[in-house]
């Protein structure tokens, strides 16, 4: 099972990268997301995390620039109807953009992914929200990043009311997703800060 390879890129073709593993004379073909493919060039040295996908009929190597991208890919292929081809295309919009689209039910953005129509986009949002926690899928940092713009106004108001800044940040960060109304969020935060 492969997990990391340092290599020189030999060629790029149809989303696949042919590589020469350093100091071995061994070559592999690796699949990467469209974003990664746009960054790499032939004869450059790269280091990627690897996911070795093994089925009864094939073995495929996927390359990722960071652990979060790899984690998202592995979670995507756990969803029954999302195969590795769809998962790689989905990563093409970027992990943080994907997290935001799911969090905000943005099916229009998801339909910009090759092979994803409106019906599939809605199904994807529902499946990913019901089967996989956003925080588990993308990491707590992404969840906080997504929440921050919406809750900035609340944080500023609470800090202006002389509540401790660090405590405010902690409380606002974990406002339950089902509380959408700004006034209700404020009431919830004050109640938590008063404990």
pLDDT digits (tens, 9 = 90+) for 14-50: 778 888 887 788 888 999 988 888 888 888 888 888 8
CATH of the domain at 42: 2.40.50.140
Query: Which domain range does residue 23 map to?
Result: 4-64
Say if residue 83 is in the same domain as residue 97.
Answer: yes
Say if residue 80 is in the same domain as residue 126.
Answer: yes
CATH of the domain at 119: 1.10.150.20
Provide the token pair at 119. 């019906």
Say if residue 114 is in the same domain as residue 161.
Answer: no
Say if residue 11 is in the same domain as residue 40.
Answer: yes
Residue with tokens 């094939």: 58
Q: Using CA atoms in the order 136, 141, 146, 151, what is the torsion angle rounded to 10 degrees?
A: 120
* Residue after which a domain boundary falls, among 15, 30, 64: 64
Examine the pLDDT at 112 and tell me if it is beyond 70. Answer: yes
Please tell me the total count of domains within the chain: 3
pLDDT of residue 135: 60
Say if residue 15 is in the same domain as residue 60.
Answer: yes
Mean pLDDT of the chain: 80
For the segment 127-185, what is each residue's pLDDT rounded down to a tens digit? 877 655 566 556 555 554 555 556 777 888 888 888 888 888 878 877 776 777 778 88
Q: What is the mean pLDDT of residues 102-129?
A: 85
Please classify residue 54 by burial: count the beta carbons closer than 10 Å to its beta carbon, then call 0-12 exposed, 13-18 middle and 19+ buried.
Answer: exposed
* Residue after which a domain boundary falls, among 48, 64, 80: 64
In 3D, which of 52, 55, 54, 51 has the Cα closest to residue 72?
51
| Res. 62 pLDDT band, cuts 50 70 90 | very high
Q: What is the mean pLDDT of residues 73-85?
A: 85
């Amino acid at each position: 099972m492969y997990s990391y390879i340092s290599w020189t890129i030999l060629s790029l073709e149809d989303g696949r990268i042919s590589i020469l593993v350093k100091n071995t004379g061994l070559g592999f073909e690796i699949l990467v997301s469209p974003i990664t493919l746009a960054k790499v060039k032939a004869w450059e040295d790269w280091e990627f995390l690897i996911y070795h996908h093994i089925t009864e009929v094939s073995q495929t190597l996927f390359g990722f620039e960071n652990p979060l991208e790899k984690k998202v890919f592995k979670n995507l292929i756990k969803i029954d109807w999302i195969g590795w081809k769809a998962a790689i295309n989905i990563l093409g919009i970027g992990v943080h953009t994907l997290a935001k689209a799911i969090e905000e039910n943005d099916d229009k953005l998801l339909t910009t992914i090759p092979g994803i129509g409106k019906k599939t986009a809605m199904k994807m949002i529902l499946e990913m929200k019901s089967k996989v926690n956003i925080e588990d899928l993308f990491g707590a940092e992404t969840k906080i990043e997504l929440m921050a713009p919406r809750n900035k106004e609340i944080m500023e108001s609470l800090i202006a009311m002389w509540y401790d800044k660090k405590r405010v940040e902690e409380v606002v960060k974990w406002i339950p997703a089902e509380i959408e109304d700004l006034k209700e969020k404020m009431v919830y935060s004050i109640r938590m800060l008063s404990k």
